[in-house]
Structure 1
Amino acid sequence: MSDSPLQFGDPSAAFQACINTNRIERTGLEPILGGKLRQKAVWVDEATCIGCRYCSHVAVNTFVIEQNLGRSRAIRQDGDSTECIQEAIDTCPVDCIHWVDYADLSRLAAQLKEQELLPIGFPSPARKKRKS
Structure 2
Amino acid sequence: MEPELGGMLRQKGVDVDEITCIGCKHCAHVAHNTFYIESEHGRARVFQQDGDPEELIQEAIDTCPVDCIHWVDYTKLNTLEEERKYQVIPIAGSLVDSGAARIASHRNKQNADKKKI
TM-score by length of 1: 0.66
Q: Residue 68 of structure 1 contacts residue 119 of structure 1 at CA under 8 Å; is this kept in 2?
A: no
- Indicate which of 12, 20, 40 corresponds to 1:48: 20
Q: Does 1:78 align with 2:53?
A: no
* 2:60 alignment partner in structure 1: 88
Cα distance in 1 for partners of 2:2, 2:60 equals 27
Structure with the greater alpha carbon radius of gyration: 1
Gapped runs of 5+ residues in structure 2? Answer: 97-117
After the TM superposition, list the runs of 4 or more consecutive aligned residues in structure 1 that deviate by more than 6 angstroms: none
Cα RMSD for the two superposed structures: 2.3
* 2:72 alignment partner in structure 1: 100
* 1:38 alignment partner in structure 2: 10
How far the C-alpha of 1:113 sits from its partner, in A, is 1.0
How far the C-alpha of 1:37 sits from its partner, in A, is 3.2
CA 1:92–1:122 in structure 2 vs 1: closer, same or farther (change >3 Å)? closer
* 1:6 alignment partner in structure 2: none
Gapped runs of 5+ residues in structure 1? Answer: 1-25, 125-132
Instruction: After superposition, give the CA deviation of every residue in 1:5-56 in whole Å (9 maximum; x if it has no partner).
Output: xxxxxxxxxxxxxxxxxxxxx964241xxx6332200000001000011100
Matched AA of 1:105: L
User: Where is the helix percentage greater, Structure 1 or Structure 2?
Assistant: 2
Identity of aligned residues (%): 56
TM-score by length of 2: 0.74
